Structure 1
């Protein structure tokens, strides 16, 4: 039974790896669910950690995003699953000694839960005619839309997402977005739509203009997604360049 189970898990990972190769870019996400009462302390430790990475020229990189429910996401590009086995902070921990462990003990006091999972950028479903990029200069405000679905509706929902992209393209919409889907390590399935703006006012202005451009017929197309979604969530947030990191 143990051998069968192990073979099944390996097969799932290989299958997922093949699918990812078709879907473009993978990202390893570390998520901290920060307690509101510990927000200021968390920010303090996070900035100290970033400074320590700069000081020791840590050879890794991540883009940091926050959400209004006090989620902090550290998003690192991945080439393959073998990267998950690398002891990323071994050299830095050795150089810092006890201070390294003490810093993470302070982190642990700021949240009740955290963890890692993989998301995949789906370039075929994303709508960025000028080229896909996670960041755009001067547009660090984010609108996030989480579209959850069950396995039986996966195909129909994907078709609906493609129909929405085709509608945006045919109308020449300026409301660009990126689509990420859940990968290995996620217990449920969802697409995350990420839209970039200068601020909340800019986001609302672009959304209003987009609604007028698409017209009332947009509802029929959007229903091709809504009819197969098990749950919808909307969240706002921002890219935190001060907590993002890349080596020299």
Structure 2
């Protein structure tokens, strides 16, 4: 978590720089790829760091997620790229001295790789009729679907994503989702679909009900995306409020 040393976790998703893209809500994500043998130690360090932040009150915030393949994601909203130059931990680091450095020495023992990148929430492709929010009370379980595509198929994939949203809207689906687009720091083009639920059982139940609601013609609509995708990846996990922070 070396990025965290200066400015907390940098970056969640997007590489395009048009005005319309920059107008979307952006998030910076720091991703730690934790070794299975070090999960317990990592959890302890992460919890201690969160508690230290509550004490020293740096002026930043983040929500944390953990995937089923032991990736820890620290997600911070940003207004623009200039936010990446801010140093909200400088006073905290100065006050804590060697203890601050020790945190990151301990973090670094727990993984062989980590990365930072930016993603953008794409509201016009997101299906949340009751209002868009990345967290929902009582729904900390997550399914994440990554849809990768080549640059020349970007327009076709976007058209397909719009068609899927229209299908969900027309059918009155109760399975809501958020769409994110890759950004600065990522190496491939993708859309990320995030679906919230209470737990694994609730997720499976909702998914089955949604299949019935959408009906068999859903495959024709889904193919408008999948016909242009280079690959598809699915992950599950959970939000971790105990490892999240917001100053009070």
Q: Which bin holds the TM-score, normalised by the shorter protein?
A: over 0.9
Output the CA distance in 2 between the equivalents of 1:69 and 1:181. 22
The separation in 1 between residues aligned to 2:21 and 2:57, in whole angstroms, is: 30
1:16/1:184 contact within 8 Å kept: no
Runs of 5+ unmatched residues, structure 2: 1-13
After superposing on structure 2, the runs of 4+ consecutive aligned residues of structure 1 that deviate more than 2 Å are 19-22
Q: Secondary structure in 2 aligned to 1:102?
A: helix
Corresponding residue for residue 198 of structure 1: 198
Alignment-derived partner of residue 10 in structure 1: none
Q: Do structure 1's residue 126 and structure 2's residue 132 form an aligned pair?
A: no
Task: Give the superposition deviation at 1:189.
Answer: 1.1
Is 1:20 the counterpart of 2:21 in the alignment?
yes
TM-score under structure 2 length normalisation? 0.92
**For 1:8-87, what aligned pairs fall within 5 Å after superposition?**
16=17, 18-22=19-23, 24-87=24-87
Match of 2:169 in 1: 169
> Which runs of structure 2 are paired with 1:208-223 in the superposition (5 Å)?
208-223=208-223
Deviations 1:72-103 (A, max 9, x none): 00000001111111223111100000000011
Q: For residue 52 of structure 1, report the CA deviation from its aligned partner.
A: 0.5
Q: What is the match of residue 9 of structure 2? A: none
Could you report, residue by residue, the CA deviation over 1:152-191 in whole angstroms, capped at 9, with x for unpaired residues?
1101000000000000000000000000110111111111
Q: Is the 8 A contact 2:148 2:229 kept in 1?
A: yes
Equivalent residue number for residue 145 of structure 1: 145
Q: Distance in 2 between matches of 1:82 and 1:75?
A: 17
CA-atom RMSD, angstroms?
Answer: 1.3
Deviations 1:15-56 (A, max 9, x none): 61623234x200000110101110000000000000000010
**TM-score (norm: length of structure 1):** 0.92
